[in-house]
Amino acid sequence: MKWRDALTMDRVPVLTLVVFLLISWASTEYYLGHAVVASPSPFTPVWGAYDHADAMRLVLWALLGLALALIVPLPGRVASWPSLLGTVGRQVQSLSGLWLVVTFGTMAALVLAKGPYLLHAPQYLMFTAPSAFVSAASVAQPMAVLAAGFLSVRHPNLGRIALGLWLVLLFACATRVFAGVLVLYMVGKFLAGGRVAWPTWLLTTVVTVVLLPIPLHCRALTDHGLIPYARAMVHLVENPSFFTDSLLTTTSSFGFSVPLLVFTSREQSITASDMLISVNPGPGSLVGWDEIMPTMRVHDFIPYSALGEWASFGGFALMLFLLVWGVVVRACLRSVGSNPHPTMALFLAAVLGMSMLTVVMVTQYNTRAVSRIVSMMIVLTLFERVVRPWTESFLRSRSLRPVPWAGPAAPRGVRDVHAA
């Protein structure tokens, strides 16, 4: 079997987490070898807990779980990349109106969730909307940025406007998704049939690395929101050492995941009952999360990581958690990817966006945050399976047929609706 045949779409999130963990580990070593700690901060105890031997042991357990998730055989067959990209490209381009609603609708939801705090807030993570609305708007962000990339193939100007607005909005929120906006946009454009040359991918990677320290710097400010952040950026860029400091900030951001894993793994206060509450996606006030949340954090703005929470029960528990996560993600992507109907592009964008979001969340956020997104993925996958027969029935009633799944891909950019 060729490596291209093994590198199927459903394995992409799992392989991404493998690469992320290795980069994080290397970044930790670089940062600790070059950084000079001038004053204590909330991050200091986490970095101080780092131990090379413990880190190596836990990372190897994590990589073992991910490797097993990659090789677990799953039912169904996965289309080749040319067939997949051809099918997705045709379906995506026929749904431009939907992507317009998704990307700009999610923007509107984010603006409503932040309210006046979008421009100025005395504290980080302040919202005016209910927590459920805020969570929904946050989870939808990766999919909405992908949708902007989808939109750019048929409507380049609208796509560029959406890209610019997403950069501004996510910058104002000081979220790490801000750094990944360009990557998600380019991936969306590529999946929709747009041509993305390798120099563009290289530039996208460089820009992402440069942007990553910005939200972390903004979080440490005393004032928050678009206006204070914009003022801070002017002074930051004028600083001659900005780019040198950015390298250390970037490596600390990538590397922080491994020290946080080590730190959290040593927390003996985490109980099996806490983990049962964490994996329950129900409302926090009902399942008990609101009571234990203050104890599941290093600091108000630094939650334990899901990896570290499971590692506190031993390396085998960490391995098992990542095995389950990887298999569930692969199963969801395989399921929605087998849909031959035009709705496949919508569900694939949603599940792929959420799965890539969990790649970062398992390393720097509680199991609770990860389980809620994974639960949404599962519900969405099951919903797609339920409505698929109705989709087929609707297409037949309209004398249309779905795009064939097997066989060579048609030229990218061709509409996927044909007369029967």
- Cβ(175)–Cβ(215) under 8 Å? yes
Nearest to 72 by CA among 260, 323, 247: 323
* 124: DSSP letter: S
**Segment 117-135 mean pLDDT:** 90
For the cut 60, the answer to whether the pLDDT of residue 2 exceeds it is no
Distance (Å, rounded) from C-alpha 412 to C-alpha 83? 10
From residue 327, alpha-carbon distances to 85, 203, 376 in Å are: 23, 32, 16
Nearest to 308 by CA among 389, 370, 397: 370
Q: What is the largest CA-CA distance in the chain?
A: 71
Name, in order, each residue with C-beta under 8 angstroms of 135's C-beta and a sequence gap of 6 or more.
372
Give domain limits for the chain: 16-36+43-73+256-420, 80-246
Residue type, 4: R
Beta strands in 254-412 (DSSP E): 297-299, 302-303, 400-401
| Between 229 and 86, the higher pLDDT residue | 229
CA dihedral defined by 317, 319, 320, 326, rounded to 10 degrees? 140
What pLDDT is attached to residue 36? 62
N-terminal to C-terminal alpha carbon distance within the chain: 37
What pLDDT is attached to residue 44? 85
Q: What tens digit of pLDDT does each residue of 91-103 get?
A: 788 888 989 999 9
Q: Which residue shows structure tokens 């990766």?
A: 142
What pLDDT is attached to residue 219? 83
Distance (Å, rounded) from C-alpha 362 to C-alpha 352? 16
| Between 97 and 220, the higher pLDDT residue | 97
**Segment 78-82 mean pLDDT:** 75
Write down how long the chain is: 420
Cα angle 401, 403, 408; round to 5 = 145
Distance (Å, rounded) from C-alpha 173 to C-alpha 164? 15
Q: What tens digit of pLDDT does each residue of 151-171 get?
A: 999 999 999 999 999 999 999
pTM (two decimals): 0.77
For the cut 50, the answer to whether the pLDDT of residue 417 exceeds it is no
Between 96-114 and 156-173, two packed helices, what is the crossing angle to 10 degrees? Answer: 20
* H/E run at residue 290: helix 289-292
Q: How many CB atoms lie within 10 A of CB 32?
A: 16
Q: Can you spell out the DSSP letters for 183-217?
A: HHHHHHHHHTT----HHHHHHHHHHHHHHTHHHHH
Q: What tens digit of pLDDT does each residue of 294-306 get?
A: 999 998 878 999 9
What pLDDT is attached to residue 399? 56
Band (pLDDT 50/70/90 cuts) for residue 400 is low
- Cβ(207)–Cβ(246) under 8 Å? no
- What pairs with residue 419 in β-bridges? 400
